[in-house]
């Protein structure tokens, strides 16, 4: 069994490419992937910063070809606007231990654009849940993802990396402070919701922001958010009027195209007498058309911009990151041992089957010669079963343990040789006296 | 005595400049506040110095560049301190204080060598014309400074360079409002200066059209009238207004220097 991961992320691809490869609903994609005979399990993670597919396979080469097809042909053609070969340079590939470590780092927000940000863990859980619901994940990936979640919890509780995400929100609030003099008289408009947006909103409120309007696709959801954040609720159809009133806009809504276009903003800004508009866009794909940057009064920042501005104590971050990496290594080692030990499973199964075959045939032959009643026969059956189990327990345990190390794989080979597991005419399989 | 007072004022403005520069570079609001306090003290003495200027023998004429420069600095600092009471403009002290120091320092150097043959300061109309126009120019200079800082900040924010270090510079909104207020009051004072100058010409001289100073001021007035319309009537963006205010003041300075050179 091999683990294979293919993906694009903010490390390798610009936002314009990432947003085109974003997958809203992973279930159909996973369904199609698992139709391929080489793929046993799969999970697809698609967030604002990455689209990655992790699969368990018995045929690495076939699995690689299938995933390459997904990234280079299927996803681009679904998104449109990208030619097939264009994606190739952005896609990375990781195998086995590297793939495993990568997942642990992703779930722990070590690979995030804003290191330590809180959203990625929830997004990873959602991806796993979607795969589990449609039966795409099996026992191996189940266990790997559970390990990833517990690792993420350790990183959050044992390091201070999570504090870093609040600095992005603080940067947003400080930027707003360089545009506006007094927040108490300003009107904020929140389009959609998300943890980063909430953090930014909290930071703005700390600086005196009071008036808030919430717009969302559904009126019910908008009302719930408005109650949660203490604002008025609106539908997306009211955006033009809301934009005309707003001084700050915070957007994070899942839509496949910008909800705030330059045309919409030009119209909205017409009656504002040159009042500035501060826009934070955390959505992926972006909710605000970058073309609005040409409008003098509009100051737009997306996640890339904000993360790039985080003024942090580099030394402290590196120290915390190093601590987190140690945790990742420990957890990876634990899982790796378990995963590698899985290689012993077929051999152990074969050994058990071979011994059981011998026990059954010998027992059958002996019982035919003995005149035993039913209870006596059951007694002998149990006796031989217990003997076999006792004899096999120590060597099989040792075999499993040794198989956790790369060097221990020789034990598997020896066991297969000694028991003739790969022979057509195995020892002990023939006539015995 | 008066010259010594001006030297003390220059010294206080210099201390304010150093404190403001340190506050700005160290992102230390406390130092910036020290700079403002020193500026307030210096300004109080500056006003006193200007009020007692006539006691100098010979008293320098109001048209003396040194006196004018010093007076404009006094008005500019006063206007800045007044704005500071209503707007969050603390960071502006790092620019106002050095300009005030330079103006007073070079202004007071000329007091001893003042040419008494310049425009006499005997008539109320001359006083009104020179003081109003100079005060107007000082405010327009302050508006231009705010506009310039607005453009720098606007460019930085548009290039997504991140928050400024320490965040001492005023917000775009504060700079825009300061620039608008300075333009409005400065233009009003300039208008009154132009009107009083016009009356003076009608009474005591003729407006021939060849006088560079008068022609230049008439043109400045028209340019600034256009800027007032742009800002308060045409709904131009804050950036366009800032460009207008900077360009207007540059034009004004070039015009003044040109007319002085021609005359």
- The tokens for A288 are 């605000």
Residue B126 contacts residue B118 (beta carbons within 8 Å): no
- Closest-approach residue (CA) in chain A for B162: A309
CA distance A90 to chain B (A): 25
C-beta atoms of B238 and A179 within 8 A = no
* Stretch B44-70: mean pLDDT: 80
CA A396 to each of CA A338, A347, A348, B42: distance values in angstroms, whole numbers, following the listed order: 15, 9, 7, 91
- Of the residues B156, B158, B173, B241, the best mutation for testing chain A's interface (the one with the most A CB atoms within 10 Å of its CB) is B173
B169 touches chain A (CB under 8 A): yes
- Closest-approach residue (CA) in chain A for B163: A175
C-beta atoms of A274 and B158 within 8 A = no
| Residue-level pLDDT at A433 | 39
CATH number for the domain formed by residue range(s) A2-161+318-340: 3.30.460.30
| Residue-level pLDDT at B257 | 77
C-beta atoms of A309 and B171 within 8 A = no
Helix (H, G, I), strand (E, B) or coil at A282: coil
By the 10 Å C-beta count (0-12 exposed, 13-18 middle, 19+ buried), B222 is classed as: exposed
By the 10 Å C-beta count (0-12 exposed, 13-18 middle, 19+ buried), B203 is classed as: exposed
| Residue-level pLDDT at A152 | 93
B159 touches chain A (CB under 8 A): no
Residue A293 contacts residue B158 (beta carbons within 8 Å): yes
CA distance B24 to chain A (A): 15
A208 touches chain B (CB under 8 A): no
CA distance B103 to chain A (A): 30
CA A359 to each of CA A45, A254, B24: distance values in angstroms, whole numbers, following the listed order: 48, 62, 88
- Closest-approach residue (CA) in chain B for A170: B163
pLDDT tens for each residue of B64-105? 777 888 899 999 999 999 999 888 888 889 999 999 999 888
How far is B146 from B92, CA to CA, in rounded Å? 8
A134 is catalytic: no
B27 touches chain A (CB under 8 A): no
- Asked if pLDDT for residue B178 goes beyond 80, the answer is yes
Q: Which residues of B115-146 are buried (b: 16+ CB within 10 A; e: fewer)?
A: eeeeeebeeeebebbbbbbbbbbbbbbbbbbb
Among A351, A343, A340, A346, residue whose Cα is nearest residue A395: A351
Report which secondary-structure segment, H or E, holds B131: helix B124-158
Nearest to B163 among A174, A273, A276 (CB): A174
User: What ranges do the domains of chain A cover?
Assistant: 2-161+318-340, 165-309, 343-418
| Residue-level pLDDT at B207 | 46
Q: Angle at CA A375, nearest 5°, toward A371 and A379?
A: 90
C-beta atoms of B157 and A181 within 8 A = no
Helix (H, G, I), strand (E, B) or coil at A117: coil
C-beta atoms of B172 and A179 within 8 A = yes
pLDDT tens for each residue of B119-175? 444 577 778 888 898 999 999 999 999 999 999 999 989 988 766 655 678 899 999
Alpha helices per DSSP H over A80-135: 96-107, 119-133
Report which secondary-structure segment, H or E, holds A200: helix A195-206
**Residues of chain B found within 8 Å of residue A184, distances taken between Cβ atoms:** none
Q: How confident is the model at residue B210 (pLDDT cuts 50, 70, 90)?
A: low
Among B20, B2, B130, residue whose Cα is nearest residue B84: B20
CA A316 to each of CA A263, A319, A323, B163, B256: distance values in angstroms, whole numbers, following the listed order: 44, 5, 11, 21, 56
B87 touches chain A (CB under 8 A): yes
Residue A97 contacts residue A329 (beta carbons within 8 Å): no
A273 touches chain B (CB under 8 A): yes
Under-70 pLDDT residues of chain A:
78-85, 163-167, 194-196, 256, 284, 310-315, 406, 424-433
- Of the residues B84, B147, B160, the best mutation for testing chain A's interface (the one with the most A CB atoms within 10 Å of its CB) is B160
How far is B148 from B137, CA to CA, in rounded Å? 16
- The tokens for B119 are 């425009």
How far is A218 from A221, CA to CA, in rounded Å? 5
- Closest-approach residue (CA) in chain B for A293: B158
C-beta atoms of A309 and B162 within 8 A = yes
How far is B40 from B178, CA to CA, in rounded Å? 19
How far is A274 from B58, CA to CA, in rounded Å? 52
Among B116, B157, B201, residue whose Cα is nearest residue A176: B157
Homologous superfamily of domain range A165-309:
NAD(P)-binding Rossmann-like Domain (3.40.50.720)
- Closest-approach residue (CA) in chain A for B86: A181
**Residues of chain B found within 8 Å of residue A299, distances taken between Cβ atoms:** 157-158
Residue A226 contacts residue A210 (beta carbons within 8 Å): no
A305 touches chain B (CB under 8 A): yes
Residue B32 contacts residue B90 (beta carbons within 8 Å): yes
| Residue-level pLDDT at A185 | 86
Among A63, A89, A74, residue whose Cα is nearest residue A20: A74
| Residue-level pLDDT at A53 | 96
C-beta atoms of A178 and B171 within 8 A = yes
Nearest to B153 among A171, A178, A296 (CB): A178
From the CB of residue A158, how many other CB atoms can be counted at a distance below 10 Å? Answer: 13
By the 10 Å C-beta count (0-12 exposed, 13-18 middle, 19+ buried), B7 is classed as: middle
Residue B34 backbone dihedrals phi, psi, to 5 degrees: -60, -40
User: What ranges do the domains of chain B cover?
Assistant: 1-121, 123-263
How far is B134 from B256, CA to CA, in rounded Å? 12
Q: Which residues pair with B185 in a beta bridge?
A: none
How far is A428 from A420, CA to CA, in rounded Å? 9
| Residue-level pLDDT at A431 | 43
Residue A196 contacts residue A190 (beta carbons within 8 Å): no
Helix (H, G, I), strand (E, B) or coil at B112: coil
Provide, for chain A, the percentages of residues in helix, strand and coil under a 3-state DSSP scheme, each rounded to the nearest 5.
60, 15, 25
CA distance B182 to chain A (A): 17
| % chain B with pLDDT above 90 | 38
Nearest to A181 among B87, B167, B235 (CB): B87
| Residue-level pLDDT at A171 | 78
| Residue-level pLDDT at A76 | 76
Nearest to B157 among A178, A182, A308 (CB): A178
Q: How confident is the model at residue B213 (pLDDT cuts 50, 70, 90)?
A: confident
| % chain B with pLDDT above 70 | 86
Residue A189 contacts residue A215 (beta carbons within 8 Å): yes
CA distance A198 to chain B (A): 20
C-beta atoms of B173 and A180 within 8 A = yes
C-beta atoms of B173 and A181 within 8 A = yes
Name the active-site residue from A48, A110, A214, A415.
Answer: A48
Interface A-B, measured as beta-carbon pairs within 8 A, has a size of: 63
Helix (H, G, I), strand (E, B) or coil at B159: coil
B209 touches chain A (CB under 8 A): no
pLDDT tens for each residue of A31-46? 999 999 889 999 999 9
**Residues of chain B found within 8 Å of residue A175, distances taken between Cβ atoms:** 157, 162-163
CA distance A217 to chain B (A): 30
B235 touches chain A (CB under 8 A): yes
C-beta atoms of A178 and B237 within 8 A = no
B110 touches chain A (CB under 8 A): no
């Amino acid at each position: 069994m091999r683990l294979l991961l293919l993906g694009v992320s903010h490390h390798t691809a610009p936002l314009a490419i990432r947003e085109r490869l974003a997958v809203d609903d992973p279930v159909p994609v996973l369904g199609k992937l698992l139709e391929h005979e080489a793929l046993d399990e799969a999970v697809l993670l698609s967030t604002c910063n990455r689209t990655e597919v992790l699969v368990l396979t018995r045929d690495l080469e076939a699995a690689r070809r299938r995933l390459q097809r997904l990234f280079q042909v299927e996803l681009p053609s679904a998104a449109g606007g990208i030619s097939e070969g264009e994606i190739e340079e952005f896609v990375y590939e990781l195998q086995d231990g590297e793939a495993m470590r990568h997942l642990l780092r992703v779930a722990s927000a070590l690979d995030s654009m804003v290191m330590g940000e809180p959203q990625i863990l929830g997004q990873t859980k959602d991806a796993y849940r979607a795969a589990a619901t449609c039966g795409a994940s099996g026992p191996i990936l189940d266990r790997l993802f559970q390990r990833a979640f517990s690792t993420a919890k350790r990183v959050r509780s044992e390091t201070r990396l999570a504090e870093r995400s609040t600095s992005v929100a603080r940067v947003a609030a400080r930027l707003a402070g360089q545009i506006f003099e007094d927040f108490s008289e300003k009107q904020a408009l929140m389009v959609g919701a998300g943890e980063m947006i909430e953090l930014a909103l909290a930071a703005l409120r700390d600086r005196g922001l009071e008036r808030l309007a919430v717009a969302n696709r559904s009126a019910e959801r908008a009302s719930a958010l408005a109650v949660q954040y203490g604002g008025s609720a609106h539908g997306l159809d009211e955006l033009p009027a809301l934009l005309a009133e707003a001084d700050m806009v915070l957007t994070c809504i899942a839509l496949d195209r910008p909800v705030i276009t330059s045309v919409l903003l030009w119209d909205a800004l017409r009656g504002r007498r040159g009042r500035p508009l501060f826009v934070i866009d955390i959505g992926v794909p972006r909710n605000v058309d970058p073309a609005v940057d040409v409008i003098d009064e509009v100051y737009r920042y997306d996640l890339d911009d904000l993360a790039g501005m985080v003024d942090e104590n580099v030394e402290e971050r590196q120290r915390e990151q190093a601590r987190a990496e140690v945790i990742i290594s420990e957890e990876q080692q634990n899982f790796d041992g378990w995963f590698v030990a899985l290689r012993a499973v077929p051999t152990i199964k074969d050994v058990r089957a071979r011994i059981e075959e011998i026990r059954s045939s010998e027992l059958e032959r002996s019982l035919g010669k003995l005149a035993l009643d039913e209870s006596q026969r059951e007694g002998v059956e149990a006796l031989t079963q217990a003997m076999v189990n006792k004899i096999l327990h120590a060597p099989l345990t040792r075999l499993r343990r040794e198989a956790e190390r790369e060097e221990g794989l020789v034990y598997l080979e020896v066991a297969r040789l000694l028991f003739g597991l790969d022979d057509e005419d195995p020892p002990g399989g023939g006539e015995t006296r | 005595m008066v010259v010594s007072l001006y030297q003390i004022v220059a010294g206080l403005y210099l201390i304010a400049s150093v404190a403001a520069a340190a506050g700005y570079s160290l992102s230390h609001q406390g130092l910036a506040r020290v700079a403002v306090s020193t500026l307030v003290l210096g300004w109080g003495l500056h006003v006193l110095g200007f009020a007692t200027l006539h006691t100098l023998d010979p008293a320098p004429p109001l048209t003396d560049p040194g006196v004018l420069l010093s007076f404009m600095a006094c008005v500019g600092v006063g206007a800045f301190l007044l704005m500071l009471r209503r707007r969050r403009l603390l960071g502006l002290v790092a620019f106002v204080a050095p300009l005030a120091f330079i103006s007073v320092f070079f202004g007071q150097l000329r007091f001893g060598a003042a040419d008494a043959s310049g425009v006499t300061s005997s008539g109320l109309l001359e006083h009104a014309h020179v003081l109003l126009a100079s005060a107007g120019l000082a405010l327009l200079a302050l508006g231009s400074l705010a506009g310039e800082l607005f453009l720098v900040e606007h460019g930085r924010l548009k290039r997504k360079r991140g928050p400024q270090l320490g965040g001492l510079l005023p917000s775009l909104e504060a700079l825009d409002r300061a620039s608008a207020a300075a333009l409005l009051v400065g233009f009003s004072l300039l208008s009154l200066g132009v009107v009083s100058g016009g009356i003076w010409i009608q009474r005591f001289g003729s407006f021939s059209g060849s006088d560079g100073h008068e022609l230049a001021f008439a043109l400045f007035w028209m340019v600034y009238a256009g800027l007032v319309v742009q800002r308060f009537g045409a709904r131009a963006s804050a950036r366009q207004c800032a460009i207008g205010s900077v360009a207007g003041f540059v034009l004004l300075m070039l015009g003044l220097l040109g007319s002085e050179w021609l005359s």
